[in-house]
Structure 1
Amino acid sequence: MKKSKLMYKPVGLLMGAATGMMAGALFKQAWKLLGHEEDAPGATDEERSWREILLAAAVQGAIFAAVKAVVDRSGATAVRKVTGTWPG
């Protein structure tokens, strides 16, 4: 296994935890702006419509994917700066 890939493992684990927290906080703020409510609907929320539930899920997924891409790319860039090679 390449040195850069080995170095990236612990960085990736820490970044993964940070990704979830950041994405959750961003989604909560986005939902307040979009839905004018504190909490997004859950899939089993009987009082909410299919449209609202699917919209919340789509927004949450898009935010998580974008945050994950930023965090992963930043981590890989940092490893390249330290080791001189891209963790691939």
Structure 2
Amino acid sequence: MSDTLEQVSSVIVDVLKIDGKGINMDTRFIEDLKADSMDQFFLIDGFSEKFNVSIADEDARNIKTVGDVVKYIDSQKK
């Protein structure tokens, strides 16, 4: 598991209060993790805080999977 994926998973576990087993790059927030719109807001906020990045609303709307977040964060760190 990549470092970014591991840290993203820890935010997901913290925000959604789940055990985190089975979270991978293909995991979908709505369909697989049952995140509602408020959960998604708190997840984006958590990712922004954890990685010290700003995620624009337009970008946040395009984030559907864990892999989307990992790729976005990795692209912002460069």
More helix per residue = 1
TM-score w.r.t. length of structure 2: 0.39
Larger RCO (CA under 8 A, 6+ residues apart): 1
Over alpha carbons, which structure has the higher Rg? Answer: 1
